[in-house]
Amino acid sequence: MSEQVAARTNAHPLDPLTPAELAQAVALIKADERFGARMRFVMVNLLEPAKETVRAFTPGAPIERAALAVILDNAAGATYEVSVSLTAGAVSQFKQIPGVQPSIIPAEIDEIQGVVKSNPDVQAALARRGLTDLTLIDVAPLMAGYYGGDDLPPNCRFLRTVLQFRESEDDSGDAHPIDGLHVLV
């Protein structure tokens, strides 16, 4: 893959990133020395140009393309915004945003299933409700907000879970929430 995308023509400045541009942005960020092995991409979108640039655009004129990524470092409890000039083929900004948490990412949804289902207290609570087949239990994580306190490590990331059960493999867990059982992870 080329390290940079030439200024595009015959496109609008607010067109979404193409698959090639997304791949380029991710590759440039991963190649940056500030990108660590524990970091995860939360999102990569078009970094919209200034309104003046959009208003001045004429069809067929070359346009500069840029991407904005939100990166999560779970181990450090840190969130970063990374700007990439796709036209120049370079990371233009790699900035930590203190005191914020990005949205849940699919990898966390997968991880939370195992964390909650393997907890002995959760297993006991499910058993008291007659639910022993963990393959029929769904764990739906939701952003929980900040539950700050002096006894908590800084930059904690909390997820509140809603547990649901399915009566069979083909059933929808959404139809069967487990009332009164929520886990804060």
Q: State residue 185's pLDDT score.
A: 82
The pLDDT mean for the chain works out to: 88
Reply yes or no on domain 106-184 having CATH 3.10.620.30: no
Query: DSSP class of residue 134?
Result: G
Closest CA to 42 of 26, 27, 31, 28: 26
User: Can you tell me the mean pLDDT for 149-164?
Assistant: 77
* Residue 69 to residues 76, 130, 133, Cα–Cα distance (Å): 18, 45, 40
Kindly give, in sequence order, each residue whose CB lies less than 8 Å from that of residue 142, ignoring residues fewer than 6 positions away: 104, 159, 160, 161, 162
Q: Which of 58-67, 99-108, 151-160 has maximum average pLDDT?
A: 58-67
- Locate all alpha helices (DSSP H) within 14-170, ordered by sequence: 19-31, 51-56, 106-117, 120-128
Whole-model pTM: value is: 0.76
Residue 182 has pLDDT above 70, yes or no: yes
Cα distance between residue 140 and residue 131, in whole Å: 17
In what helix (H) or strand (E) does residue 175 lie, and over which residues does it extend? none
User: Can you tell me the mean pLDDT for 138-148?
Assistant: 75
Residue 4 has pLDDT above 70, yes or no: no
The more confident residue out of 102 and 81 is: 81
- 7-63 pLDDT, tens digit each: 555 588 999 999 999 999 999 999 999 998 889 999 999 999 999 999 999 988 888
Q: Which CATH architecture has domain 19-96?
A: Roll (3.10)
Assigned token pair, 26: 């991710």
Residue 151 has pLDDT above 80, yes or no: no
Give the rounded percent of residues in the chain with a pLDDT score beyond 70. Answer: 88
Angle between helical axes of 120-128 and 106-117 (0-180°, round to 10): 70
Contact between 57 and 63 under an 8 Å Cβ cutoff? The reply is yes
CATH 3.10.450.40 maps onto the chain at 19-96, 106-184
- 67-82 pLDDT, tens digit each: 999 999 988 889 999 9
User: Can you tell me the mean pLDDT for 102-124?
Assistant: 91
* Cβ count near 12 (within 10 Å): 11
As a whole number of Å, the CA-based R_g of the chain is 22
